Every structure is written in C-alpha cells, then in structure tokens.
Amino acid sequence: MYYKIGERIEECTPKNFDHLDYQYIAVISTEEWIQTNNKFSMGIEMEIDPNEITDTHAKVNIDSLTGTFSVPSRKNTSGPKHNFAFALDEKGVVFIDDEGFAARIVDNIAASKKYINPCLERFLYDFLESIIHRDNKIIEQYDSRLDEIEKDVLNEGSTDSLKELADIRSELRDLRIHYGQLMSLSQELEENENGFFKDDNERYFHLVFQRVKTLHEMVSSLSDFTSQIRDLNQTQLDLKQNRIMTVLTVITSIFMPLTLITGWYGMNFEHMPELSSPIAYPIVMATCAFIFIGGLIFFKIKKWL
C-alpha cells in the first residue's frame, strides 16, 4: 500500500519515487521489500527477517534512516510482540511489515487525521503517538491491580496474589524497556543527523520523547511499587511468624513450672512426707492452677497475648 501525505493521508500509486512532488508512505511485506527496495533510491541493502527483530531502534545511514519496531501487545504485554522494520529519507517512509500492524496504524491515521501543514514529520509524530496513545489507561489498570494486591497482602490473602504480582512485575519490566527504546528512537529522529526534517518540525519528535518519558517514569514508579508490596508481604510473614513464636514462648513459659512439679513428684522417693498428707494432692492442684492462671494474667498485662 502506498499513501500520499497531503491534507489527508490518501492512497496513491507512485511510479517514480525520485520525482515526486509530495512525501509518501509505503507499507510493504518483506518479500516486496527484497524485490523493490531499489526503487525507493535510499542507497541501502537492508535485509529484513521479522523473526530476528528483538527491539526498537534507529540507525543513521548515509542516505537514509533505518531501524525496527518491537511493540508489546497491549492485550498481553509479555506475549508475542508486533515486529516490523522501517526505512526513511526526506522523501518518505517505508514500513516493512508482514503482520499488518503498521498498516492498521496508517489506515487509522488516514481515517482520523487532517493536516494544516502536511509533512513527513507530523505523520511520524502521529504514528509514534498511535503506538502509545492508550498506554495511560493501561498503566492506570496496573495501578488499580496493584492496589488490590496490596489490600490482599495486608489481609493475609492467598498466594495467587503473589503470583499475579510477579506477572505484573514482568509485564512492567517489558514496558519499561519498550519505553526506553522509544525514547532513544525519538531522540535519534530529533537529532536529525542527515537533515531530512525541517528544523521547525523537530519539535514533534521532542513531544513524543516527553510523552514516552512520562510513561517510562510512571512504569518505573509502579515497578518500585511492586517491590514495596513484595517487601510488605515479607513483613507480614515475619509478623505472623513472630506471633506464632510469641504464643509458643508463652505456652512454654507457663507449662515449664508445671513440668517441674510433675517431674518432682514423679521421682517415687519413699520419704516424701507430703505424699501421706490427705490435703497434699489438692494443694498441688491449686498450686498448678495458680501458676497457670497467674502466667496468663502476667503475659496479658505485658501484652504478649
């Protein structure tokens, strides 16, 4: 698919890319790029293998700017990514995409945007903006999920919450890496080393950089929040163990003198005068009850129970 950048993004069928009176957008497959890349006159032989695309980056060449996009799916951040490549110069941009992800973005821009000052820079701004335009809501959803997990941890919830926390932490890490790469790409475009863009239009890429930077900071903050929740869970576990140890210590302290009495009168010596007294047994029972009740009262006053 080929498009003309004008007041609207419109489909076209250019024949000679060297003598166009407008800037263009091309969305083609890897096979089409191999067969037709010479007609774009960018002076590059870029070999594309979608299976080998792993990141988002831009590379400055003598007569062009090339790179790749690896965009996490917003439905499953840790799942398969949308991978495609691009090449551009002052005449236009070519997206090499077998999946159709870039084509959908271009179609959405064509259907919804109308330009006062049509230019390649403004289109690239809209393209990059389309990649991140829903991310604020996604990050808010992560924030809400983390709030629920924090409440669950405070209420000594199940281990399912901790598993979800680990999944969220992994997804946030993927998003943070993605935003970091988008920041680097937008900076590369803003630097305009090859002079493809007008100086007044470089501000578009700075705007993208600022917005991606904000998202990066928000995700970093949520990532720190996951660490705090994990530490909170460990603190809750430590408190629970401390309570158990306190109860065991109190029980041991109360029954230790009772065990001593039991051991003392279990020695079966012949000359123990209190054994022949008819009130010896009630006295021992009363003493044991006093020790037990007194221990409970003592530890209650000390707030150990």
State mean pLDDT over 112-125: 87
Model pLDDT, residue 116: 85
Model pLDDT, residue 216: 93
Tokens of 157: 């919830």
In this predicted structure, the answer to whether residue 237 has a pLDDT above a threshold of 80 is: no
Model pLDDT, residue 209: 92
Residue 211 pLDDT level (bands cut at 50, 70, 90)? very high
Q: What is the DSSP string of the chain?
A: -EEEESSSEEE---S-TTS-SSEEEEEE-HHHHHHHGGGG---------GGG--S-EEEE-SS-EEEEEEEPPSS-TTS--EEEEEEE-SSEEEEE-SSSHHHHHHHHHHHH---SS--HHHHHHHHHHHHHTTHHHHHHHHHHHHHHHHHHHHTT--HHHHHHHHHHHHHHHHHHHHHHHHHHHHHHHHH-TT--S-GGGGHHHHHHHHHHHHHHHHHHHHHHHHHHHHHHHHHHHHHHHHHHHHHHHHHHHHHHHHHHHHHHTTS--S--GGGG-TTHHHHHHHHHHHHHHHHHHHHHHTT--
- Express as a percent the part of the chain with pLDDT over 90: 10
Residue 256 pLDDT level (bands cut at 50, 70, 90)? confident
Model pLDDT, residue 198: 86
d(CA 178, CA 185): 11
Q: Give the chain's mean pLDDT.
A: 83
Q: Specify the higher pLDDT residue, 48 or 3.
A: 3
In this predicted structure, the answer to whether residue 240 has a pLDDT above a threshold of 80 is: no
Q: Specify the higher pLDDT residue, 6 or 14.
A: 6
Every domain of the chain and the residues it spans: 2-237, 265-305
Model pLDDT, residue 276: 72
